[in-house]
Amino acid sequence: MSKISALLLAAGMGTRLQPLTDKLPKCLMPIGGIPLLEHWLSLLYRTDIHNVLINIHHHKAMVEEFLLRARFNKWVKSTHEPKLLGTAGTLRQNASFFEGETVLLAHADNWINCNFGDFLDFHVNRRPDKTIMTMMTFRTTKPKTCGIVELDPEGVVEKFNEKVTEPPGDLANGAIYLLEPEVTNWLFEKKGATDFSIDVVPEFLGRIATWENTEIHRDIGTIGSLRSAQNDPIPRSCWPSDDDWSTSYRSHQVHQDI
């Protein structure tokens, strides 16, 4: 498989999760007792993605302390955004980190549990030749709150409807993408593009393959959704939970609050 590097977007304020996010960042909210961001890093580690950049903003010091653990040394780096750059802006700002490589761009406030290796293999080996991006999709019960895609017979995005009042279906953009260098090169020249869904996706209609996650795909941005996620099947972390950080984390009040 070709080399893939990853940008995990983890800088969000998590306002819909207040008051939980007053004391803990959204990216460290527990799923089965394990921080969401650790689930993501464990997933990437298992699938041989060992060059990862994470943007941070809210509760910066807490996220940095989490990332200082020995298990993340040498393969996980962070970049602090004093002012949020937007999902496309972050990718453009850090373009040199991914130069010439396939990029996994993921909103790390999504909780997923799926055959991630097949997602990667589809992009590398099985996507339609005319495409330069693969979007993970999922079936939503709330299509008005999502970007809804319409596909051609090959599963390529031909129309994209971002949070419209009368969505044409329930197949939603999962905000997890695999991008070929042509996409990041284009973005580097488009200084005005800040939001990936709004400013980038519409520019590549007809060239975006899709892979549907038929298992678990949740935005844990509300307390209700975060609580529901605790009942999902939880994969084990790649690492033991007996280090000092994990011990301290387990005593955090958030575990009782959800």
Q: What is the pLDDT of residue 253?
A: 95
**Which residues in the chain come in under a pLDDT of 70?**
1-2
d(CA 180, CA 10): 22
Contact between 107 and 14 under an 8 Å Cβ cutoff? The reply is no
> What's the number of domains the chain is made of?
1
Sign of the alpha-carbon dihedral angle for 5, 119, 128, 197? negative
Q: What is the pLDDT of residue 1?
A: 56
**CATH code at position 203:** 3.90.550.10
pTM above 0.85, yes or no: yes
Q: What is the pLDDT of residue 109?
A: 87
In terms of residue numbers, what domain contains 222?
A: 4-257
Query: Tens digits of per-residue pLDDT, 195-225?
Result: 999 999 999 999 999 999 999 999 999 999 9
Q: What is the pLDDT of residue 2?
A: 67
